[in-house]
Amino acid sequence: MATAQTYSVIGQRVNRTEGYGKVSGETKYIADILLVGMLHGKILRSPYPHARILSIDTSKAERLPGVRAVVTADDTIKQGWGAFLQDQYPLTVGVARYVGDEVAAVAAVDEATAQEALELIDVEWEELPAVFDPEEAMQEGAPLIHAGKERNIAIKIDVERGDVDRAFAESDLVVEDTFQSMHQWHCAIETIGSVAEYSHGKYTIHMNTSTIYMARGRIATALGVSEADVRIVQSGVGGAFGGKSCDDNNAIVAALLAKKAQRPVRIINTRDEEFLAGSRPRVPMKIWIKMGFMTDGRIRAKQIRVVADNGAYSGKAPAVTGVAALRHDTAYRFTDVKTEAYLVYTNKIPTGAFRGFGNPSAEWALEQLMDIAADKLGIDPIDLARINAVEAGYVSPHGNRVGSCELIQCIDKVEELIGWKEKRANRVPYRGLGMGCTVHVSGKRHFMDYDGATATVKVNEDGKVYILSGEGEGGQGIYTVLCMIAAEELGVPLEEVSISQADTDVNTFCLGAFGSRVTYVAGNAVRDAAAKARQQLFEEASHLLEADAEELGSKDGRIFVKGSESRYITVADAARARLFRRGGAPIIAFGSFDADSVMQDDTRYGNESGGYNFGCQAAEVEVDPETGQVRVLHYASVADCGTVINPIGAEGQVDGALAQGIGYAMTEGMTFEDGRPSEPNFSGYRIPSMRDMPRKLSSAFADSYEPTGPFGAKGLGELGTDPTAAAISNAIFDAVGVRIKTLPITPEKVLRAIQEKDA
């Protein structure tokens, strides 16, 4: 295996390339985009969780001064669309299936007029029986939400590898339990929004999406036009975390209004709308899990049953359910496993992609059961994880092939960072330690048998370098990472490299930001393009320096003869020499990369990713036995993400992931009343603040190198959220002997459990 190296740009602590625009206010977010004649759009939503539309009268709204367009399902082609199952419509066709379902929309000269027009639309409803619990929805006789979906089951996964019954019979210890996770909203500082215009048969849509090409495909399907007739331009993105991947109708409705009004239309969700129907929250799951162990701690068998709440429409929940059911089998050495998973329609908000993509729900259950087993076996939990941790070369029961892997190193570093041995040996009353491990992918092949990326690198005649990429900057710092990769490969200063705005009419095809893929997949494509551009430079420089191209090197914008660096020309010299001559041409190169992975077959078998990233976390908590209040005193997080391209960005990813993990664990809970979020705002839904963060946070990165990644790098962004809730719950058990099995972990739940234990 190749090993890490010292680079000129890679691994340096640099400023973000787009940072100045954000802090200075120059970056244009959706709210900053003002087009000539632009109208304001508003959406009328269903007040019922399940109801049939008997009639819609929009005449009063259409007559209101200032209204320029009103649309309903009759203004659409009534074509279903969706990432995996095409089960939702731009505007409700016949039956609304959750509170917030889009029914009609208006475009007016200002927001107040648009809001007044919504109130003038008369809808006659027939309420229908609704079902809100996925297990109840699966029962015979439950209200059917989608015709043809028996027992409201959207998808079912039924997989067994090996002989699970025999493996359990051979186990020395068998443990089982049930755990419940909840909705979690993305709560990005900027809500979902879009600005659409229609001209000469083509839609141009400015969106704060993190996946411009996938958005283009879904919007084209919903509108019934060719993808060439839809242009998506990414605006600034004020946070995404999986919630801005075009699984909602915002941009589609804006496009419908723009065409009918023949004017640009902007729609930006209010915060209430974001909770009701905007970003698709994390998929809640009820997970029963059973595991068998040998007395030495080795895992012998595992069986899991997942019931996932799809909500009214599917979005990315089918893929999320698959990840929760199977992905964690690549973290520990499993052989005999059985999985049964159901994704079930309910009359609630559709669910979907959120940082971790199913892993946090699965780890919430699995890592707690590992802790339960460690307690019963009399083995230190961190030792139990180390005994079962996978290493390079492991092939999971589902065919995932692990290349680089430093999970054991992550466990060792976490043990040291948090002072595990010392604190376990010198216990303090009501304080406890808990830990958890995880695995994630660096991209996943599940869209059109493609998990690749493309990029173009251009070297201008002044030596400046320009990258054209459609991956898009969603706040994760990928523009900086891609510029660093190009700068390193070309041997130019980072300040000389810039990157394009993501635009489907300008850039070649890119899948976008999801699955912790962009550094690994897009980084490889940019490096490929940069290497080809460098070769063009060297071929030109070889004539000027009277040396073979193979004898040349580059650094700090100079191309030199190796061993004689005083013989050099600048990159600009080479670019000009290649261009300004008879038959000349610019330095421009196209790069691509497609990961060494496969589409999983009908049995969900196959290597899903080109690289796997691993992590371990540990929490030290203090519990107040009188109130149930839990305080995270110290948190340690170590990630195996290969070569760290930009340390500042990587550290930010770790801290941000932990904040969202703590929110998932302890503060973020929403109650529903007849399918409607009870308080769809930040008064009723509390995201973590500084006071909720650990008093001490220790983070580190494993010394790791992924041979197939750009300069040895692989994914990181989602890894840090996966095991956080389980690690905190395990620490609570270590502190006071009670285990919380439903999220979030509130003081009330902890106090009640302590009182029941004492009784």
- Per-residue pLDDT reduced to its tens digit, 600-624: 999 999 999 999 999 999 999 999 9
Nearest to 659 by CA among 639, 688, 680, 695: 688
- Assess whether pLDDT exceeds 80 at residue 634: yes
Q: How many CA atoms lie within 13 A of 650 on its CB side?
A: 26
State what percent of residues in the chain have pLDDT above 70: 99
pLDDT at 251 over 50: yes
33-128+189-239+245-276 folds as: Aldehyde Oxidoreductase; domain 3 (3.90.1170)
- Predicted pLDDT of residue 699: 96
706-744, pLDDT tens digit by residue? 999 999 999 999 999 999 999 999 999 999 999 999 999
pLDDT score at 5:
64
Calculate ∠ Cα 447-516-249, nearest 5°.
55
CATH 3.90.1170.50 boundaries in the chain? 33-128+189-239+245-276
**19-26+452-594 to CATH, choices 1.10.3720.10, 3.40.50.720, 3.30.365.10, 3.40.47.10:** 3.30.365.10
Mean pLDDT of 667-696: 92
pLDDT digit string, tens, across residues 285-325 = 999 999 999 999 999 999 999 999 999 999 999 999 999 99
Give the pair of three-digit tokens for residue 391.
């290493």
Residue 167 CA to residue 149 CA, distance in Å, equals 35
pLDDT tens, residue by residue, 319-354: 999 999 999 999 999 999 999 999 999 999 999 999
Note if the bond before 677 is cis, omega within 30 degrees.
no
Q: Look at residue 595 in the predicted model and tell me its pLDDT.
A: 94
pLDDT of residue 2: 45
Alpha-carbon torsion angle 46, 50, 51, 52, nearest 10: 110
For 175-226, the pLDDT digits (tens) are 999 999 999 999 999 999 999 999 999 999 999 999 999 999 999 999 999 9
pLDDT tens, residue by residue, 573-584? 999 999 999 999
Query: Phi and psi for 124 in degrees, rounded to 5?
Result: -100, 125
- Output the pLDDT for position 448: 79
Q: Are 475 and 459 in contact (CB under 8 A)?
A: no
The pLDDT assigned to 669 comes to 87
CB 393 within 8 A of CB 616: no
pLDDT for the residue 334: 97
pLDDT tens track for 403-429: 999 999 999 999 999 999 999 999 999
Contact 113, 261 (CB under 8 A): no
Residue 158 has pLDDT above 60, yes or no: yes
> Which CATH topology does 285-445+600-758 take?
Aldehyde Oxidoreductase; domain 4 (3.30.365)
Asked whether the beta carbons of 632 and 689 are under 8 A apart, the reply is no
* Span 233-262, average pLDDT: 96
DSSP state of 140: T
Mean confidence (pLDDT) of the chain: 96
pLDDT for 474 equals 87
How many angstroms separate the CA atoms of 474 and 282, rounded?
18
Q: How confident is the model at residue 1 (pLDDT cuts 50, 70, 90)?
A: very low
Domain with CATH 3.30.365.10 in the chain: 19-26+452-594, 285-445+600-758
- Residues 676-688 have pLDDT tens digits of 988 899 988 999 9
Reported confidence tier of residue 278, pLDDT bands at 50, 70, 90: confident
**Length of the chain counted residue by residue:** 759
Characterize the bridge pairing of strands 265-268 and 39-45: parallel
112-119 CB contacts, 8 Å cutoff, 24+ apart: 113/40, 113/64, 113/65, 113/66, 113/67, 114/39, 114/40, 114/41, 114/42, 114/67, 115/42, 116/64, 117/42, 117/61, 117/64, 117/67, 117/70, 118/42, 118/43, 118/44, 118/61
